[in-house]
Structure 1
Amino acid sequence: MNTKLISKTLIQNQNTIITRSYYTNKANKATLYSKISPLGSTPSLEPELDSWVRSGNKVRVAELQRIIHDLRKRKRFSHALQVSEWMHKKDICIFSPSEHAVQLDLIGRVHGFVSAENYFNNLRDQDKNEKTYGALLNCYVRQRETDKSILHLQKMKEMGFAKSSLTYNDIMCLYTNVGQHEKVPQVLNEMKENNVLPDNFSYRLCINSFGARDDLEGMEKILNEMEHQPDIVMDWNTYAVAANFYIIGDLTDKAIDTLKKSEARLDKKDGTGYNHLISLYAKLGNKTEVLRLWDLEKSACERHINKDYIIMMESLLKLSEFEEAEKMLKEWESSGNFYDVRVPNTLIIGYSRKGLCEKAKALLENLTEKGKMTLPNSWGIVAAGFFDKSEVAKAFSCMKAALCLYVENKGWKPNQRVINGILSWLGDEGSAEDAEAFVSSLKTVIPVNREMYHAVLKANIRAGKEVHRLLDGMKTYNIKEDEETKKILSMM
């Protein structure tokens, strides 16, 4: 399920498998995981798995289970499913309901809930227990199949399998993700009526549901109830969720008080927790607390991953602390961390949003000179910044760089408003060579359109060149001459 739709500070459902990464051992001896992990998007792992066994290596069930869990954690679901299927096919172990539940979950993630249903329906009756029923429910919830989820929950109740908070949490996640926040507290009440103890995640979902409806009084009541539950140990994340809604509601004093409670429950080595609190204080506009927490994080955590630097830079930029953000970038550069284009990109986007396009462009050029990777999206954002300042020549330069970096199916598409503006400028002021080269690059990214040909026509006509080949090209793409085309041709 997509917990990003719940809240930025609402951490993942308990169904997420969290395990220690399974790498090679200290002596760098090859393991099965080290053979599988680099294979990327290979269509089948079976040849590698078979080769491992043929080479005389023993395959242990516990090892395969750890590999599957680690692949799931890394969201490499297709690979995890292949390992699980191979394990079953080779009779390495007789699948218990727990293994079937994992297999069912993976099938749902890779092939969808219909395939998961078929797998479930073909299970033996003794394998259909609360774990496999729960795994199928999670598949329905993840794909937002509301009716199927409710019917399946009813079946679980009839079978006596709806006895854990996990089941009800799934339904609360479903209502949250489909925007039916008002139904979440009803599920919490039903849990209590059925003598199922809510856990931290149950309460957090309910707190989020009240906050999402701007019912801060209802949110406070649930938070107070949670604090007085003998079986609940309050965690930093729940307070962070509540603090976020206080910030949204401009209740600064309550937000700060709740953030202090959150910090008091934070594991001092929890970088993720520090990052959340830093972001929330930045949202409050509190630079002092942002820097204080960063200092605490630096002293408490042995090392900082790139995500830590990104969060800190985003927070500083939110506070318009550009000099501090620049210092943070330099600190990251000297940290020894691997190069991650997202880190400098954070500052580039921050510059562009504030109209500091020259600084953004200079940073991009500096990275390029150093042989570091940049993104077409970064150049495109800077191009848009220049275009909004009516500096079209500079926008053109940046967009050319973006098009040179374009890789198909990587998700980036140029801003059509900026593209149309550049094409118009090229037609009116650019050289025929620049216009044709730009359109040639553009054709690899977006469908050919009338604006492209009009720009090239105008540029060529101004240069005194013949345009018959361009008109033939328009016919090739079924672009008929319109009044604007005739007006351009009349310039000859």
Structure 2
Amino acid sequence: MYGRALQLSEWLEMKKQLDFVERDYASRLDLIAKVRGLQKAEDYIQTIPKAFRGELLLLYKRLDKKKIADVLLLMEKENVKLSPFTYRILIDTKGLCNDIAGMDQIVETMKAEGLELDILTQSILAKHYVSAGLAEKAEEVLKMMEGDNIKENRWGCRFLLPLYAELGKADEVERIWKVCESNPRFEECMAAIEAWGKVGQIEKSEAAFDGQLATSKKLPAKCYTKLLKVYSDHKMVQKGKDLVKRMDDNGLKIGPLTWDALVKLYVEAGELEKADSILQKACQQKESKPLFASFMAVMEQYAKRAYKNGKAPAYGIRERMKADNIFPNRYLAAQLAQVDAFRRTAVSDLLD
């Protein structure tokens, strides 16, 4: 699907069907990195107008954060002014690295340059404050996002719902949801399913899902997957099974995101063999392959089980991945090494 999306993007530009802006270049760059690799993505940067060169930051934020400083120096050398989009990437990168002080410094720089934080950037800022345990700072940002009248700033509800849920504030989730409950937009409904699940009110997650189902002839698979993740987080295996059956009955395609939610559902429920079985079947699909996260979820449990059971090895995962042309990243490779029965060590070399 990434390949098709890239072809569509290239066709739109070639036929001049779309005037590319920052967001479009960022999307194209991301697709090239996924389909053709990092080097091709770096080559593509040279064809982007200088005013939009900040998109290279997006690439390195995902693949190699160490190169971000080099990109900033290059932008300074070429007199490329940082845009709100570029600042958003930098704020997110600092947050992902748990550098809250650095993140705050970037925000102050934006303000000094007369740039306002849009609601998406504010949501990223709040998310990282929550992750860092800075609840008060997160709430300050959330109140800024709401403004004087949340009904007039309704577009922010989709961001506010899961963020208040992360803070464990069910009352605030209820208050924000009431703004849009009578006529929810799709993204608001998705956010409500996630938020109610995070605060442990599964019935309200289901009600949000059913409400959306009642207004749509056919919901997309990602809406089912969102509820499936709620069931996974709460180890509700039977409800998860029933939901997947509903997906199948409604003719929806079961893809990588659904497989991932299913795998994690069984992992969380302690049914590792069933999770592994689903992963094997997913690997046999021709159209798409499982997510790395699915392999990691299974491997982490095998690693824990191996430790508990005298480090008994788990066979076959590496071979299945090779057969499907799926190559582990550094983290997953480390997980594989923990349960590799044939790995070479200094001691094994001595004993051979």
What TM-score results when the alignment is normalised by the length of structure 2?
0.65
Retained in 2: the 8 A contact 1:240–1:259?
yes
Q: Which residue pairs with 2:125 in the alignment?
A: 171
Q: Which residue pairs with 2:99 in the alignment?
A: 145
SS at match of 1:124: coil
Q: Distance in 1 between matches of 2:168 and 2:8?
A: 49
User: Gaps spanning 5+ residues in structure 1: where?
Assistant: 1-17, 26-30, 33-57, 89-93, 350-374, 420-437, 457-469, 471-492
Deviation at 1:210, TM superposition (A): 3.6
Select which of 32, 42, 45 maps to 1:84. 45
Deviation at 1:239, TM superposition (A): 1.2
Q: Distance in 2 between matches of 1:220 and 1:148?
A: 33
Q: Distance in 1 between matches of 2:36 and 2:180?
A: 32
Deviation at 1:162, TM superposition (A): 0.8
Mark the CA change 1:380 to 1:284 in structure 2 (over 3 Å): closer, same or farther. closer
Mark the CA change 1:22 to 1:321 in structure 2 (over 3 Å): closer, same or farther. same
1:70 matched to 2:31:
yes
SS at match of 2:254: coil
AA paired with 2:337? K
Q: Which residue pairs with 2:165 in the alignment?
A: 211
SS at match of 1:304: coil
Select which of 224, 241, 253 maps to 1:274. 224
Retained in 2: the 8 A contact 1:181–1:210?
no
Deviation at 1:70, TM superposition (A): 1.3
Retained in 2: the 8 A contact 1:84–1:103?
yes
1:118 matched to 2:103:
no
Which structure has the bigger radius of gyration? Answer: 1
What TM-score results when the alignment is normalised by the length of structure 1?
0.50
Q: Distance in 2 between matches of 1:151 and 1:343?
A: 32
1:22 matched to 2:6:
yes
1:47-92 alpha-carbon deviations (Å, 9 max, x no partner): xxxxxxxxxxx9x997x9575241256695554233213x26xxxx
1:100 matched to 2:84:
no
Q: Which residue pairs with 2:108 in the alignment?
A: 154
Q: Distance in 2 between matches of 1:402 and 1:225?
A: 47
Mark the CA change 1:167 to 1:382 in structure 2 (over 3 Å): closer, same or farther. closer
SS at match of 2:53: helix
Retained in 2: the 8 A contact 1:100–1:132?
no
- Summarize the alignment of residues 36-435 of structure 1 with structure 2, pairs less than 5 Å apart: 65=25, 67-72=28-33, 76=37, 79-85=40-46, 87=47, 94-95=49-50, 97=51, 99-106=52-59, 110=64, 111-124=66-79, 127-162=81-116, 164-193=118-147, 202-225=156-179, 227=181, 235-247=188-200, 251-261=201-211, 268=218, 270-284=220-234, 289-301=239-251, 303-312=253-262, 314-315=264-265, 387=309, 395=312, 398=313, 410-411=333-334, 412-414=336-338
SS at match of 2:168: coil
Deviation at 1:268, TM superposition (A): 3.3
Q: Distance in 2 between matches of 1:68 and 1:132?
A: 14
Mark the CA change 1:271 to 1:151 in structure 2 (over 3 Å): closer, same or farther. same
**How many pairs align?**
331
SS at match of 2:109: helix
1:338-357 alpha-carbon deviations (Å, 9 max, x no partner): 7769899799x6xxxxxxxx
Mark the CA change 1:120 to 1:232 in structure 2 (over 3 Å): closer, same or farther. farther
Q: Distance in 2 between matches of 1:279 and 1:170?
A: 22
Q: Distance in 2 between matches of 1:156 and 1:233?
A: 32
More moved, 154-163 vs 319-328: 319-328
Retained in 1: the 8 A contact 2:91–2:106?
yes
AA paired with 1:162? E
Q: Distance in 2 between matches of 1:173 and 1:344?
A: 24
Deviation at 1:327, TM superposition (A): 9.2
Mark the CA change 1:226 to 1:101 in structure 2 (over 3 Å): closer, same or farther. farther
Retained in 1: the 8 A contact 2:158–2:188?
no
RMSD: 5.4
SS at match of 2:338: coil
Q: Distance in 2 between matches of 1:342 and 1:160?
A: 41
User: Gaps spanning 5+ residues in structure 2: where?
Assistant: 323-327
Q: Distance in 2 between matches of 1:133 and 1:270?
A: 33
Retained in 2: the 8 A contact 1:165–1:199?
no
Q: Distance in 1 between matches of 2:220 and 2:186?
A: 17
1:264-313 alpha-carbon deviations (Å, 9 max, x no partner): 57893522321221232355565564344223322445533355345335
Deviation at 1:183, TM superposition (A): 1.8
Q: Distance in 2 between matches of 1:316 and 1:280?
A: 13
Indicate the percent of aligned positions where both proteins have the same amino acid: 12
Q: Distance in 2 between matches of 1:135 and 1:379?
A: 35
1:399-441 alpha-carbon deviations (Å, 9 max, x no partner): 79899999996223336xxx9xxxxxxxxxxxxxxxxxx8xx5
Q: Which residue pairs with 1:474 in the alignment?
A: none
Deviation at 1:379, TM superposition (A): 7.6
Deviation at 1:238, TM superposition (A): 0.8
Q: Which residue pairs with 1:4 in the alignment?
A: none
Q: Distance in 2 between matches of 1:163 and 1:302?
A: 38
Retained in 1: the 8 A contact 2:161–2:176?
yes
Q: Distance in 1 between matches of 2:117 and 2:294?
A: 48
Mark the CA change 1:84 to 1:167 in structure 2 (over 3 Å): closer, same or farther. same
Retained in 2: the 8 A contact 1:175–1:184?
yes
Mark the CA change 1:103 to 1:170 in structure 2 (over 3 Å): closer, same or farther. same
